[in-house]
């Protein structure tokens, strides 16, 4: 496998609105990010992915862009951005930006012009279907509840939006749209940024003729993702963008690709195909979704063996061909310690175990802000406290169907995106040190116990564990490039695997349960005396001494050995 800097990097995702507020208006901003670059240096990460900072009316917190060439006022100015880039580069940190080109804001000048009249020059920048009011062109449901079609009174037509009604989808079949996007992407790369996370990119192609989806639930609108998922146009457009733009720069690209299997992912990331460097898949994020009419909002238990199956397929199928992007959290997902670990008694223990997992797989690890101190989900006691458009729309749609406020809240506590969007917890002062004003969304009230200042003072904190993991990864070839092999495939609590390069073999042992469990490794696996590289065990000495081939694991224990 060809060596590149982005394979050897660890990335850190910043949701700027919630990271650090420098001027007391309650909204995180670019000067806030600049003030925390030393902190990120101390953690040891290499790349920052910053969520959208472009000019936006903020219907979806910046994922609805009004002007691709300007910075959101609340975040600062272009001069602030240039300062951020320079200061980051000075510290050896790279910056990748979010590239949101499946849609724009409905306040983007293109859309304003497009909707003015069917004869407008920009009409075909977006997707319009004539019709009659109240008669939807088809039954597709948007990701944020309700139909994908919005009626436009003036021109007696519908426009398509896969996300909120303030996020009309661009028409990628129009060469002028493609040209505009290429020019914009070049413009940012010429500023010196180091790449892109490409938002919702596998949705840019829509099925020809917009056919109805089969309607099992007899609802007005149905999940129809198949009709705008991984269609051939996506690959054509990515190859074109790669050839015309990406390939002329030393950058990294990671596409967001929900609903994508490893085989489909190879079409994006196989090196010879020259599309993207990596994709984020969602197979492990969807394991606890019941699907059907509940979509993501229900909670379905899943066995650990299922997680092993999913991740092992990604590890094996991409090895030697493409590169993985590994994560358990981002700004759209619940906090990982609440979801896959234990947010109570074993919070720090399980946070470290989950970190060990993501940082020892083949692929580039992505840390989401706050994960490195074990931040948890939040339970606001009223819907009014939530800010996310997806939550607001879900609430509205479910109220119409008669679901109780209490039941809606319960679902939001477990799956709502605002779990990940409460302000970063810097210290135990008012508002967790995030702002001197009123934060745009409330702080999680566990901030007095869980915050960066506390973590930095405690040598056994989650923070220092991440720091050590990141440093270890950099020193080992097997850690970055080694081949993954699953052990104990059927074990209900232990996830164990090896990573092997020409010179080295690592053994990773993870107890995903709150129980003590007995570890029985295959005979002959551990030959000479193994070297313990890192563990979260309370009895680190014992873990080091014990006979590796048969010993007890503590609840949520994690250990990495060189064997």
381 in catalytic set:
no
Angle between the N-to-C axes of helices 175-190 and 232-244, in degrees from 0 to 180, rounded to the nearest 10 = 40
Q: Which of 80, 150, 199, 493 is catalytic?
A: 199
Per DSSP, the residues of 22-51 read SSSSSS--HHHHHHTHHHHHHHT--EEEE-
Catalytic site residue 256? Answer: yes
418 binds, among Ca ion, ligand TEU, none (CB under 5 to 8 A by kind): none
29 binds, among Ca ion, ligand TEU, none (CB under 5 to 8 A by kind): Ca ion
Taking the complex as a whole, how short is the minimal distance between the CB of residue 318 and ligand TEU, in angstroms? 21
Return the SS3 of 297.
coil
Is residue 63 part of the contact set for ligand TEU (CB under 6 A)? yes
Q: Write down the H helix ranges in 202-303.
A: 232-244, 262-269
> Whose CB is nearest to ligand TEU?
63
Q: Dig out the tokens for 334 from the structure.
A: 């619940």
Min. distance of Cβ 384 from ligand TEU in angstroms?
A: 20
* Non-local CB neighbours of 47 within 8 Å, separated by 6+ positions: 6, 9, 10, 11, 12, 93, 94, 95, 96, 194, 195, 252
Identified catalytic residue from 46, 60, 74, 256:
256
Q: In whole angstroms, what is the distance from residue 266 CA to residue 260 CA?
A: 10
Cα(341)–Cα(336) distance, rounded to whole angstroms?
Answer: 7
Pick the closer one to ligand TEU by CB: 103 or 359.
103
- Please report whether residue 362 would count as binding ligand TEU according to CB under 6 A: no
> Least distance in Å: CB of 66 to Ca ion?
19
Nearer to Ca ion, 18 or 202 (CB): 18
In 3D space, the residue among 427, 438, 392 whose CA is nearest the CA of residue 39 turns out to be 427
Residue in the shown chain whose Cβ atom is closest to Ca ion: 29
Which of ligand TEU, Ca ion, none sits in contact with 200, Cβ below 5 to 8 A by type? Answer: ligand TEU
Q: Of 267-326, which residues contact ligand TEU (CB under 6 A)?
A: 296
By CB under 6 A, is residue 332 in contact with ligand TEU? yes
What is the DSSP annotation of 332-399?
Answer: TS--HHHHHS-SSTTHHHHHHHHHHHHHTSSSEEEEETTGGGT------SSGGG---HHHHHHHHHHH
Handedness of CA 387, 393, 399, 402 (dihedral sign): negative
Q: Which does 12 bind (CB under 5 to 8 A by kind): Ca ion, ligand TEU, none?
A: none
Size of the site for ligand TEU (CB under 6 A): 14
555 is written with which tokens? Answer: 């609840």
Nearest distance from C-beta of residue 558 to ligand TEU, angstroms: 28
Contact between 388 and ligand TEU per CB under 6 A: no
Interactions with ligand TEU, residue window 141-160 (CB under 6 A):
143
Q: Which residues contact 102 (CB under 8 A, 6 or more apart)?
A: 162, 163, 169, 170, 199, 200, 201, 203, 204
Name the residue among 313, 303, 302 with its Cα closest to residue 361.
Answer: 313
Which of Ca ion, ligand TEU, none does 27 bind, CB closer than 5 to 8 A by kind? Ca ion
533 binds, among Ca ion, ligand TEU, none (CB under 5 to 8 A by kind): none
**Strand-strand pairing, 149-152 and 94-99:** unpaired
- If the CB atoms of residues 29 and 199 are measured against ligand TEU, the closer one turns out to be 199
Decide: is 163 part of the binding site for ligand TEU (CB under 6 A). Answer: yes
For residue 546, what are the contacts with CB-CB under 8 A and spacing of at least 6? Answer: none
Which residue number, 148 or 532, has a Cβ lying nearer to ligand TEU?
A: 148
Nearer to ligand TEU, 162 or 450 (CB): 162
Options 65, 100, 424, 508; binder of ligand TEU; rule CB under 6 A: 100
Distance of closest approach, residue 166 Cβ to ligand TEU, in angstroms? 11
CB atoms within 10 A of CB 54: 25
Report the alpha-carbon distance of residue 184 to residue 177 in Å, rounded.
11
Complex with Ca ion: residue 18 or 476, whichever CB lies closer: 18
Q: Return the one option of Ca ion, ligand TEU, none that residue 388 interacts with (CB less than 5 to 8 A, by type).
A: none
Closer to ligand TEU at the Cβ: 115 or 331?
331
**Which residue of 10, 11, 20, 27 would you call a contact of Ca ion, by CB under 5 A?**
27
Query: Got the DSSP string for 60-111?
Result: TTTSS-SEEEEE-GGG--HHHHHHHHHHHHHTT-EEEEEE--SB--TTSHHH
Minimum CB separation of residue 100 from ligand TEU in Å reads 5
- Nearer to ligand TEU (CB atom), residue 150 or residue 332: 332
258 binds ligand TEU (CB under 6 A): yes
Secondary structure (H, E, C), 507-528: EEEEECCCCCEEEECCCCCCCC
* CB-nearer residue toward ligand TEU: 387 or 417: 417
Residue 244 three-state SS: helix
User: Does 200 participate in binding ligand TEU (rule CB under 6 A)?
Assistant: yes
Q: Work out which of 1, 8, 25, 436 binds Ca ion, going by CB under 5 A.
A: 25
84 lies in the site for Ca ion, by CB under 5 A: no
Summarize as ranges the residues that interact with Ca ion (CB under 5 A): 21, 23, 25, 27, 29
Catalytic machinery residues: 199, 256
């Amino acid at each position: 496998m060809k060596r590149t800097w982005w394979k050897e990097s660890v990335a850190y995702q910043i949701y700027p609105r919630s990271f650090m507020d420098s001027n007391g208006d309650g909204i995180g901003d670019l000067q806030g990010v600049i003030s925390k670059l030393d902190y990120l240096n101390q953690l040891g990460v290499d790349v920052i992915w910053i969520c959208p900072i472009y000019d936006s009316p903020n219907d979806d917190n910046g994922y609805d862009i009004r002007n691709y060439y300007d910075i959101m006022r609340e975040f600062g100015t272009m001069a602030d951005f240039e300062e951020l880039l320079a200061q980051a580069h000075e510290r050896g940190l790279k910056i990748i930006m979010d590239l949101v080109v499946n849609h724009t804001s409905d306040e983007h000048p293109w859309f304003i012009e497009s909707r003015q009249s069917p004869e407008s020059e920009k009409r075909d920048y977006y997707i319009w279907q004539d019709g009659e009011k109240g008669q939807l062109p088809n039954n597709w449901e948007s990701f944020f509840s309700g139909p994908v079609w919005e009626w436009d009174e003036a021109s007696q037509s519908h426009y398509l939006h896969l996300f909120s009604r303030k996020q009309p989808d661009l028409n990628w079949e129009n060469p002028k749209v493609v040209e505009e996007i290429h020019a914009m992407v070049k413009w940012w790369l010429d500023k010196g940024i180091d790449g892109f996370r490409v938002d919702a990119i596998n949705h840019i192609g829509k099925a020809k003729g917009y056919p109805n989806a089969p309607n099992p639930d007899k609802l007005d609108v149905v999940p129809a993702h198949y009709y705008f998922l991984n269609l051939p146009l996506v690959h054509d457009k990515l190859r074109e963008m790669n050839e015309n733009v990406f390939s002329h720069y030393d950058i990294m690209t990671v596409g967001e690709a929900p609903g994508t299997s490893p085989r489909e992912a190879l079409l994006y990331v196989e090196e010879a195909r020259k599309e993207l460097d990596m994709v984020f898949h969602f197979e492990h994020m969807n394991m606890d979704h019941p699907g059907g009419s509940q979509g993501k909002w229900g909670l379905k238990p899943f066995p650990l063996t299922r997680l092993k199956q999913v991740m092992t397929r990604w590890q094996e199928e991409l090895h030697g061909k493409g590169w993985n992007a590994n994560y358990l959290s981002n700004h759209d997902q619940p906090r990982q310690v609440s979801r896959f670990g234990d947010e109570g008694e074993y919070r720090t223990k399980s946070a470290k175990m989950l970190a060990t997992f993501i940082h020892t797989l083949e692929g580039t690890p992505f840390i989401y802000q706050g994960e490195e101190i074990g931040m948890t989900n939040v339970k606001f006691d009223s819907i009014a406290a939530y800010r996310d458009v997806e939550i607001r729309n879900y609430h509205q749609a479910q109220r119409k169907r008669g679901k109780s406020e209490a039941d809606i809240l319960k679902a939001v506590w477990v799956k709502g995106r605002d779990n990940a969007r409460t302000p970063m917890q810097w210290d135990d002062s008012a508002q967790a040190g995030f702002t001197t004003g009123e934060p745009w969304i409330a702080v999680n009230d566990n901030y007095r116990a869980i915050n960066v200042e506390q973590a930095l003072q405690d040598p056994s904190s989650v923070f220092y564990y991440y720091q050590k993991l990141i440093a270890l990864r950099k020193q080992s070839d097997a850690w970055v490039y080694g081949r993954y092999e699953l052990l104990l495939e059927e074990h209900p609590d232990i996830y164990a695997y090896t990573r092997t390069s020409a010179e080295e073999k690592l053994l990773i042992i993870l107890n995903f349960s709150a129980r003590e469990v007995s570890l029985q490794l295959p005979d002959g696996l551990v030959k000479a005396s193994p070297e313990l590289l890192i563990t979260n065990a309370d009895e680190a000495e014992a873990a080091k001494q014990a006979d590796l081939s048969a010993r007890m694991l503590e609840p949520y224990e994690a250990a990495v050995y060189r064997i």
